[in-house]
Structure 1
Amino acid sequence: MASLSRYRAEGGVTLLADTCAAGGVTFAFTERAGGVSKAPFTGLNLGDRCGDDPAAVAENRRRALAAIGASGCAQRLVSPHQVHGDNVVIVREATGAGYAQAVFEACSGADAVVCTASDVPVLMCFADCVPVVICAPGGFSVVHSGWRGSIARICQKAAGVLASETGCAPSDLMAYVGPCIGGVDYEVSSQLIGDFVREFGAGVCVGVPERRKLSLSYAVACALTDAGVTRGNLAFVGVSTAASTDRFYSYRAEKGTCGRHAALAVMSTSPAPVWEPLDNV
């Protein structure tokens, strides 16, 4: 059963995670707490393309990787250039030509990484788009699903690749949908809401279609269940980033100038990190 709880790691880094994720995967969705960035990026900004001081971003990333027990393999970090597409990069090796090729492909543009190698952390950044981590026995995927990726069903594609690479059944996958903009806060064009209704059904609308309120998390859930992920193995944060800028970054609510929280994961050979449980998700 997939579920998400809130934790505090060393240094005050606050995380949403499942300590019972499949396959020995340690993953987390980060919050703003515990970082060194100054306004307007205040907190644990992990994005290196939003205008923040590079030294602050580097320290924030060091803290985030330490929080998931990946300090010893931080030099192997894979952090793709996100392009709002549906390209999936596969990392099968922690060293050598295979690893170098995967890093090259990620830097060329990708919005999902499937990793079956130990000690290779993966990090993606968000500020309203949907972060997704999919765990399997022997691997994981980190996915960035904005509206373009959602309608292209990038999560369904990533889940299929992960199942194939690990040799597991889709029903063995555990999927976690992180903090993103909620439908009540996400008004889109009539054309876009119509496209999503045709792809995912009327449930993708919050209220009536005329309100043009789009639930990206609903679309992502449809894509994941269509890939074979069972409802019991699907967990949601259920917090809108646009309504919770004290905890998360929101491109829409902060008018385009903000930092980025992250989804990050690793299959580490180091001891599992120790986190302090917090009360609320």
Structure 2
Amino acid sequence: MTECVKTHDSATLDLPYPRLAEGRFSSCAVLTDDALNADFGVRICFTQRTGGESEPPYDSLNLGDHVQDDPECVGLNRRKLFCAFGMREDAVIVPKQVHGDAIVACKNRSDYAHAVLRAQNGADGVIVSCDEVGAMLCFADCVPVIVVSPRRTFAVVHAGWRGVMARIAQSAVKRVCEMDGIGPSCLNVYIGPHIHACHFEVGEDLARRFSDEFGSHVLVDDCHVSLSAALRSGLISVGVDERRIADAGVCTVCDGGKRYFSYRASGGRCGRHAAFAVRCGNGKEGL
């Protein structure tokens, strides 16, 4: 496995260092990395809850179809998001998330139907290495993670505490590297809005498991765990460059329902925001 990507003239093809900033596409407000899209034609985003059609408590851009929201509204919301990025609904893989560690890969456009079928059988990660196929996973406190390779393969991962403990993000990193023949230090990793340690209270036994697995620095005290610190520790342990990890720095509970959904803050009845990624055809033009 090579440590960086080389072109025919031996120049290193480096991704821009990751940076998340707010942007708006049609009615959809998101966190995105415009430089990544401009230079490599990969659009990543973490959606916010505004700009959709759903009524309270799912207002308004709810993208989850499993939360008792009106299915017609969810469909309209998804079409709004996909259209904002020039995508058809039948070209986006949206798995049935099961808080596991299964990852589905779509290597070619012809693999799409099979990848969708496998994803609907249960998966918490999607890897795409072809043009014009998107991946979307939904969240309301769990950690959204997007991994991008300079060869333009990307992974979108759902990491609840079980997924963090199962090291699903690290598994996605390893698979992307294997598929693209590169080293993990070349990758960009984006961590989206999620519940932070200030509100993620767990039992002492689980806190101890996190400490044993990732180090005592992931604990704020005996019962509050930083999922982002655990993720960051795990990613660095498999060779990801810490400078290439961008964290949105937003706690979904502290947000108070303004921009993001929070399962814990809402008492369990709310919509879902999403992590979404797609790449366009030529690798330079943005969507």
| Equivalent residues in 2 for 1:104-183, closer than 5 Å | 104-136=117-149, 137-183=151-197
Tell me the equivalent position of 1:194: 208
By how many angstroms is 1:94 displaced? 1.1
Does 2:250 align with 1:239?
yes
Tell me the equivalent position of 1:203: 217
Tell me the equivalent position of 2:262: 250
| Equivalent residues in 2 for 1:50-69, closer than 5 Å | 50-67=67-84, 69=85
Report the TM-score when normalising by structure 2: 0.89
- Aligned with 2:19: secondary structure? coil
Q: Deviations over 1:168-191 (max 9, x none)?
A: 221110000000001001111111
Q: Deviations over 1:46-73 (max 9, x none)?
A: 0000111111111111111123x233x3
Tell me the equivalent position of 1:214: 225
Give, in whole Å, the separation in 2 of the partners of 1:215 and 1:44: 27
Percent identical pairs in the alignment equals 40
- Tell which deviates more after alignment, 78-87 or 163-172: 163-172
What is the alpha-carbon root mean square deviation over aligned residues? 1.3
Q: Please say if residues 200 and 222 of structure 1, whose CA atoms lie closer than 8 Å, have aligned partners that are also in contact.
A: yes
Tell me the equivalent position of 1:2: 18
Aligned residues: 265
Give, in whole Å, the separation in 2 of the partners of 1:51 and 1:220: 31
Give, in whole Å, the separation in 2 of the partners of 1:225 and 1:15: 27
By how many angstroms is 1:235 displaced? 0.2
Gaps of 5+ in 1: 274-281
Tell me the equivalent position of 1:277: none
Does 2:239 align with 1:228?
yes
Q: Please say if residues 70 and 119 of structure 1, whose CA atoms lie closer than 8 Å, have aligned partners that are also in contact.
A: no
Give, in whole Å, the separation in 2 of the partners of 1:75 and 1:272: 21
Q: Deviations over 1:142-165 (max 9, x none)?
A: 000000000011000001001111
By how many angstroms is 1:269 displaced? 2.5
Report the TM-score when normalising by structure 1: 0.91
Structure 1 ranges of 4+ moved more than 6 A = none
By how many angstroms is 1:23 displaced? 4.0
Does 2:47 align with 1:30?
yes
Give, in whole Å, the separation in 1 of the partners of 2:68 and 2:229: 31
